[in-house]
Amino acid sequence: MSNFKQIRIRLLLSNLLVFAIVLTGFAVAVRFVFVRNLRQQLTNQLVTLGLGAAAGAELEDGEIELETNFSEGALEEQDQTLQVFDVQGRLLEQRGEPMRTLRFSPTLTVQVQTQARSVQAVTLPVFDNEDEQLIGYIRVSQSLEELNETINELDWGFGFGAFVGLLLYAIGGSWLNRQVMQPIEESYERLKQFTADASHELRSPLMAVSTNAEVALTYAQGMRATDEEKFRAIASAANQMSQLTEDLLLLARTGQVADFEYQTIDLTALLVDLVRLYQPQAEAKEIELKLEARNHLELVGDEAKLIRAFTNLIQNALQYTLPGGKVEIIGVALNREIQVTVADTGIGIASEDLNKVFERLWRGDSSRSYAQGGSGLGLAIAQAIIRQHGGGITVTSQVGIGSCFQVCLPASS
């Protein structure tokens, strides 16, 4: 079930990420258009003002005279400055808000960011009323303070809006996710229950087949040789199927804690026994199998299940290692954790398959030629058991060099 919770959280987070990207894109686009419009409006305003001033300008005794319908007060109120320059760009007159140095340039629009404050300015040429000759320039400028404040407010608005939007989306999204996931979770549960029931029901008939075949084989003398062969095949197939149903049952049931019988376990002794059990098989395959327990390993767990998990790892290591190879099991107790690594010098696992090995029923292509009859459930079972104990299992491997499975289990305190 925790698996589904993880999926739900991941789904929600990726939804939120997408929504955040959409919101940001939207805000950036709106801000861009809005700011452009504001700037354009300001420019238009300044141009109108400048044109008004230039229209009434006259050259008198070599000096430019403006019509004086521009009150200083109105200019100052708007944070505006009106300046008159001669043809050479020398400042002749200045009205309105006092203005610090802003280099003169006869181009139409300038926007200058002085250190103290930012200003937008429009420079217009002034022509004489009568002979249409250029007599100077008028520059109208306005502080951008107000505009920047508006933009700032807009930014805050967007920020707050995005926050509220994301919050609402998180609430709505998790509700939606739950609606969507619930039927899936339920059908998964039903499927699990079905697997458990089916494998449970298969146990007795399979047992009957294999015991009957074995009983028949105890009186093999009276049989024809071909019949004996068939009975052996039946017994072996029945055994394999029993094993498979047991595996399926175990996988379907993990997560139901009632299934586990917890007790204090001497893991060192458990591993020693296992290695002793598999030594003949290793020797037959000319593989060096050794165990190194660096300190006493003790934990609380289900002994039968742990034997099952480590058996799978050791069997794999022996199965997927060629003669002459080495399988080494090392157990260490760190302060709150027990680490057991099962390392082999076998065929290895391709890096693209590493995350598949724990999947149910997955088998590597090459493994089919090294070990017949496997179901691909071994590692899935080992992982389920280790997780049930509050631990984890990881794998590193290199093709042709070997694999290393590392099991971490919480130590008993």
Residues near Mg ion, by CB under 5 A: 316, 378
Contacts of 230 (CB under 8 A, 6+ apart): none
Rule CB under 6 A: say whether 250 interacts with ligand ATP: no
Q: Which residues contact 411 (CB under 8 A, 6 or more apart)?
A: 297, 298, 299, 333, 334, 335, 336, 337, 338
Q: Measuring CA to CA, which residue among 202, 184, 220, 158 is closest to residue 8?
A: 184
**Could you please report the per-residue DSSP string of 114-139?**
-SS-EEEEEEEEEE-TTT--EEEEEE
Element (H, E) at 179: helix 145-218
DSSP state of 286: T
The one among 43, 239, 375, 412 contacting ligand ATP by CB under 6 A: 375
Backbone angles phi, psi at 346, to 5 degrees: -90, -155
Question: Which of ligand ATP, Mg ion, none does residue 282 bind (CB under 5 to 8 Å by kind)?
Answer: none
- Mapped onto helix, strand or coil, the DSSP state of residue 254 is coil
User: How far is the C-alpha of 359 from the C-alpha of 376, rounded, in Å?
Assistant: 8
Cβ atoms 80, 70 nearer than 8 A: no
Residue with tokens 């044109």, as numbered in its chain: 51
What is the rounded distance in angstroms from the CA atom of residue 97 to the CA atom of residue 54?
A: 19
Site size with ligand ATP, rule: CB under 6 A: 23
We find the least distance from the C-beta atom of residue 382 to Mg ion, in angstroms, to be 8
Residue 349 site contact among ligand ATP, Mg ion, none (CB < 5 to 8 Å, cut-off depends on kind): ligand ATP
CA angle 218, 234, 357 (to 5 degrees): 125
Stretch that binds ligand ATP, among 29-37, 120-128, 188-196, 341-349 (CB under 6 A): 341-349
Tell me which stretch binds ligand ATP (CB under 6 A): 9-17, 40-48, 100-108, 376-384. Answer: 376-384
Per partner kind, with CB cut-offs from 5 to 8 A, the member of ligand ATP, Mg ion, none near residue 338 is none
Q: What is the DSSP letter of 321?
A: S
Task: Give the range of 22-30, 63-71, 168-176, 355-363 binding ligand ATP by CB under 6 A.
Answer: 355-363
Distance CA 72, CA 48 (A): 17
Q: Does 308 bind ligand ATP (CB under 6 A)?
A: no
Residue 320: name the closest of 285, 299, 346, 287 by CA. 346
Judged by CB under 6 A, the stretch of 78-86, 175-183, 296-304, 378-386 that binds ligand ATP is 378-386
Given 123, 210, 268, 403, the residue binding ligand ATP (CB under 6 A): 403
Binding flag, residue 374, ligand ATP (CB under 6 A)? yes
Is the Cβ–Cβ distance between 82 and 140 less than 8 Å? yes
Compute the distance between CA of residue 269 and CA of residue 258 in angstroms, rounded to an integer: 26
The distance of closest approach from Cβ of residue 394 to ligand ATP in the complex, given in angstroms and rounded to an integer, is 13
* Interface with ligand ATP, residue 317, by CB under 6 A: yes
DSSP-derived letter for residue 220 is: G
The residue range among 21-29, 145-153, 155-163, 372-380 that interacts with ligand ATP, by the rule CB under 6 A, is 372-380
Any contact of residue 312 with ligand ATP (CB under 6 A)?
yes
379-398 footprint of ligand ATP as x/- string (CB under 6 A):
xx------------------
Q: Return the residue nearest ligand ATP (CB atom).
A: 378
Instruction: Tell which positions 175-214 bind ligand ATP, by CB under 6 A.
Output: none
In the bound complex, which residue of the shown chain has the CB atom lying closest to Mg ion? 378
The answer to whether residue 311 forms part of the interface with ligand ATP (CB under 6 A) is no
Q: How many residues does the chain have?
A: 413
Which range binds ligand ATP by CB under 6 A, 110-118, 189-197, 203-211, 312-320? 312-320
Task: Write out the residues near ligand ATP by the rule CB under 6 A.
Answer: 312, 316-317, 320, 344, 346-349, 357, 362-364, 367, 371, 374-380, 403
